[in-house]
Structure 1
Amino acid sequence: MRVNPCYIVFLHIYVCASFHRLFIYMYICVLQVSGMRIYTSGEVEAVNGTDVRLKCTFESSSPININLVVISWTFRPLGPGREESVFHFQQRPYPPVEGIFRKRIVWAGDVMGRDASIIIREVKFTYNGTYICQVKNPPDVHGSVGQIKLRVVTTASFSELLLLALAIGGGIAVVVILLIIIVSCRRCKKRRQRQMEGNEEAPRKERKDPTVW
């Protein structure tokens, strides 16, 4: 039985295409399983001249090795301008030695705790923009990056002022309640002492002189 050569060629092409699709599918699955996942707050508001924490945490499918983990932060300004390196970590923190962030960046993370956060000291209006957090933990080097949009304002927003007022009011209320409890306890203690002293003096007054008939 003779086999048509065209059929053999078609079968060969079909098998090769199937293996190619299978390889691509497996590659995508590996990337999805081993991809680095990074979490950020998305947007942060800070008052001009204050410190702000840019929180960035990550998850990796590979064991964390502090000697291999690489963390990098970059800054993209709102207006025209190039991206600028903000911070780098590789076995130890490397804050910037030049540029607008010189002496302004403090490492606030914990690699073993999967935390890549930093603190910006005394923020300025020129710090308005997008901060990009990227983490690599070989062999887990693929995945999306985290982004935080920082907005530097003159005064705190109403929601922040409300939270601050609630926090202060709550603290004052706790102190007042504690003082009331302390004063009440002292009064109860003094009242019990007076009652005990009165109970001890009563029998003495009722005693009579044995010489009197």
Structure 2
Amino acid sequence: MKLHGFPPSPNNRKVLAVAAQLDLPLEVEWVSLVKGEQRSAAFLELNPNGRTPAFTDGEVTLWESNAILHYLVTRKPNDLWPDNGTDQADVLRWLYWEQSEWRKGFGGLYWENMLKRIFGLGEPDPAAVDTATTEFRRCATVLEKTLSRQPWLAHYGLSLADFAIAAPLDNAARCKLPLAEFPHLADWYHRIAALPAWQSSLPEQPAA
């Protein structure tokens, strides 16, 4: 199995962490978005959207990070994907929310405070930062409420949802995410960050 990805991206990070949690060997080939390698003919054969990550396993080629996560949990018995339909729907709800809402919640601050510097696009725009911070707080409030009642996002325990939604918080300080305002969310992330699989799969970050 091989992951073609970009180190700072949460969509790549969550795949690395789940593979490590499942003890699945995963070869990694970094794709430089700064150099435009995601637009190369070779990469577009893997993901016609020109976005990372892309994933290959023999004749299987996948894009969309949450689809890759689901593929990984089908490779061996594990506790990250439940057996019954009700619990599966609970996990899927969070995975869909991660793509539709949480990405908006952290994405603006990721762009303004980290990615613009990586791509050499100048300093953060204060107005954009204010808007993005409001959006982060909106989404973080949803997580805070859930995590005030239970230790993990899904009712049944640690799942793909936790790995997917925790991924951007690796760069909370760098992106100036106001994580400390949400103590249950912060505690939850620290529990995930303490997992050996999470620590062992942390990719080296390029300098901004």
TM tier relative to shorter chain: under 0.3
Q: Answer with 1 or 2: which has the greater Rg.
A: 1
Higher helix share: 2
Say which structure, 1 or 2, has more relative contact order (CA 8 Å, 6+ apart). 2
TM-score, normalised to structure 1's length? 0.19
TM-score calculated relative to the size of structure 2: 0.20
